Chain A
C-alpha cells in the first residue's frame, strides 16, 4: 500500500494536443480518490500515466517514495480494472484470476490458496470453472476485479469499471467495490464521468476539465462550496440553479437581482468581497435542495408559478417560473401542486456567487486547490 504523487505532470500528444496540464496531487495511502470529469478532461490519461501505459511529457509520478516514470507497467506494483474487463476468452475464471500470479512464477500451491481466497471475497467460488462467454456482465467485472486484487498490489487503478452496467447492477457493484476497498485498505484511483458514482464512493474527488484540475475536495466540499461554475454545474442531482443578474443596494442591504428574482445576500464573508467588486454583474448559484416550495407566502418568500413537477417517491422536484427565470426546487413527498399553480419559494442562505468573467466562486479566488 502506498501513496501516489503527481508532481507538475504534463501530457502533450504529438507536441500539440494538451491532455493534462500541470497536475499536482497526492493520493494518500489507503485513500479512495476519484478523478471526475466529462470525456476528454484528462482523467483517463492521468490514470494511464500512473499505470505506465502512457508516457509522461513532463513532471514526476511517485508511488510511495519511488519515482516510477521510467519503470515498466509490471514493475510498478499496480493493478488495473477496465470498463472492457480485458478477460482472456480461452481461459476459465480460475485461470484468468491466476494469470498475473503465473506470469510471476508463483508456486501452484500458493496460486490455489490466493485464487481461492479472492474468489470468496468477490463471490465467484461457485463459477471458477466457467469461461468468460458464459458469464453475465457483473460476473465478468468481478473476475476482472478478482484478477486485480489477487496480486495484492500497492495501488488499484480503476477506469470506468461499472459505467456500462445497468442501473441495478451498477448500484450493486458500487457497494462491492466500496466494501472491498474499505476492507483491504488498498489505495485507489477511480476514474469516472458519473458524478453520482464519484460522490457516492470517493473519500476525495478531483474534478477535471480540459486537462486542468478544477477542484479537489471531499464530496461535502464539492457540494457545499464549488470552486467555480464548472464544478457547480457538474456536481449535484438535480443540478444547481444558475442565474445571471446584478448586485444592487437597497436600503443599505446588498441584494442580488435578476430578471424576476431578488434575494438579499446575508453571508458576511460574501458581502465583504461582493462590496469590493467594480462590476455589478454576477452569477448566482443555488442548489434545488436549498429552495423550498410553499403553498403560503412568508415574510421572505418569493412568488413563483409551478412550471413542471416530478415526483420521486420520498421527495419531489418542482420546476418553478420566477419572472423570466426557470428554477428547480425540492419539496417533501407530500407536496403535490398543479401545473400553473401560484406558489412561494423560500430560499436558504446557501447562495453561491461566481465572477461573471472568471467563472470562479468569489469566495475562492482563482486557482485550483492543489491537494
Chain B
C-alpha cells in the first residue's frame, strides 16, 4: 500500500506533448481512475508510473521516494494492459503463476501457496475452468481476464490497470466491477485504472482524474463529477445521458437577467440570477441541462419555448425524445412524453425550474449551477 504522487509530470513525443504538467495524488489504498478519450494520455501516464517510459519533466513518487533512480523491476508494481501479452507456450495456470516464479528466488513461494493464490484469483475472475487451456484457445474476454489474473496474483505496492475489462459482455462486466473493487478493497492495494468508458469509471473509482489532451481537467469522486462538472468537456463526455449543451446569451429585461436562447427570452431561478454578475450581460454563455432534468409540456408554458420532436427512441421507463430547436438538438426524458409522440409535434420546454449549469462560452468553465429548487 503506497501513496502515488505525480508532480508536474510531462511527456513529449517529438513536438507533441502527450502529458503536460500533470499533478495528482492517489492515497494509500485508493482506486483512482484515469478517465478520458482515446489519445488523452492515460496509457502514457501508466507507463511512466511503471517505468516503461522515461519522463521529460516533473517527478513521480511512491510515498516520499522519487522514482527517478528506481528501475522498473524494483518499483513493486503489477500491470495489466489492454493487449493481453500472454505467453503462448504456457497454459493459463502457468501464465498466472509466472510472476511468482522469480528467477534466482525459485522457492520464494511454495507450490501450495502458488496453487492457493491461483485458485483464489481464478474464482474471482470466473476462469477456474480455463486453467489448463492454452491462450490461443481462449476468447478475447477470457484472455483479458487471464492477463488480469497474472497481475492480481501478486500483492504489489501499486497495481496499474489499462482498460482491463473492455471486452466483456454486459453480464460479466457488472460482476467484474464488483469483484475487482472488492479484491482491491480487501487487499488495500493502491490502484490506478485507465478507461475511456464513463460508466466503468463511475463504477470503479474512489476518485476520477479526468484527462483531455494530456491535461488534468478535474479530479473528484464520481458523484462530484456528475453534480459539479467544472467544464463543458467534463459535462458532455461519455455517459448514457449526455448533458444538453445549448449556446445562449445573457440579456436584461425589465431589470431582470434573462437567457436569450434561439430568440426566446427565458427567465431563470433566483439563485442562478443572483450568482451571475451584471457585468456578464451581453456575453455568450452555454447552458447545460441533462435530459431527465428538462421541464417539458405538450401545452405552452409561461416562460417556456417550443421545439419540435425530431426522433423518438425507446429507453427504459420513458422514451428518449430528441427535439429540434433551430439547428440545436435537445434530448429530453419526461413522463409527459410517450413513445407514440409524432415527429414534428411541438413540445414546450422551460429552464425556470430545472437543474441547470451555466458555462462561460469562451473558457468553457462552469460559472454557476442551480440546485434544482423552484425559483
Contact = CB atoms under 8 A, between A and B. Distances in A.
Interface of A: 167-168, 171, 174-176, 178-179, 182-183, 199-202, 219-220, 233, 237-239, 289, 307-314, 317, 319, 326, 328, 336, 339
Contacts of A174: 311, 313
A175 B238 CA distance: 17
Interface stretch (B11-19, B170-178, B254-262): B170-178
A175 B313 contact: yes
Contacts of B314: 199-202, 219-220
Given A219-B314, A312-B202, A339 B185 contact: yes
Interface in B215-257: 222-223, 226, 238-242
B279 interface: no
Contacts of B222: 311
Interface stretch (B1-9, B80-88, B146-154, B315-323): B315-323
Contacts of B175: 308, 319, 326
A159 B31 CA distance: 40
Contacts, number: 91
B329 A175 contact: yes
Given A175-B329, A239-B171, A307 B313 contact: no
Given A200-B320, A311-B222, A314-B292, A175 B310 contact: yes
B68 interface: no
B312 interface: yes
B171 A233 contact: yes
Nearest to A339: B185
A313 B185 contact: no
Nearest to B203: A310
B311 A182 contact: yes
A310 B312 CA distance: 27
Nearest to B38: A166
A314 B311 contact: no
Contacts of B240: 312-313
Contacts of B371: none
B42 interface: no
Interface residues of B, number: 35
20 contacts: A167-B238, A168-B238, A179-B311, A179-B343, A183-B343, A200-B314, A219-B314, A220-B314, A233-B171, A239-B170, A289-B316, A307-B178, A311-B203, A312-B199, A312-B240, A313-B202, A313-B290, A319-B174, A326-B175, A339-B185
A69 to B, nearest CB: 34
A238 B170 contact: yes
Given A313-B241, A339-B182, A179 B310 contact: yes
B181 interface: yes
Contact of B239 (A202, A233, A313, A317): A313
Interface string B150-174: 0000000000000000000011001
Interface centre among B177, B312, B313, B320 (most CB of A within 10 A): B313
A220 B340 CA distance: 13
A239 B174 CA distance: 9
A346 B315 CA distance: 23
Contact of B178 (A237, A308, A313): A308
A175 B203 contact: no
A171 B179 CA distance: 30
Contacts of B199: 310, 312
Nearest to A330: B316
Given A201-B313, A310-B203, A312-B240, A317 B174 contact: yes
Contacts of A336: 223
Contact of A200 (B178, B185, B315): B315
Contacts of A328: 174
Contacts of A183: 343
A175 B242 contact: no
A178 B312 contact: yes
A219 B222 CA distance: 31
Contacts of B226: 311, 313
A220 B175 CA distance: 26
A239 B223 CA distance: 24
Given A175-B313, A183-B343, A308-B182, A314 B241 contact: yes
A365 B314 CA distance: 27
Interface in B279-299: 290, 292
Contact of A310 (B177, B223, B311, B315): B177
A262 to B, nearest CB: 23
Contacts of B223: 311, 336
Contacts of A311: 202-203, 222-223, 226
Nearest to A196: B315
B181 A339 contact: yes
Nearest to A198: B314
B39 to A, nearest CB: 12
Contacts of B174: 238-239, 308, 310, 317, 319, 328
Interface in B174-219: 174-175, 177-179, 181-182, 185, 199, 202-203
Contacts of A289: 316-317
Given A182-B311, A183-B343, A308 B177 contact: yes
A339 B185 CA distance: 9
B178 A326 contact: yes
A308 B311 contact: no
Contacts of B241: 313-314
A314 B355 CA distance: 12
Contacts of B182: 307-308, 339
Interface centre among B240, B290, B329 (most CB of A within 10 A): B240
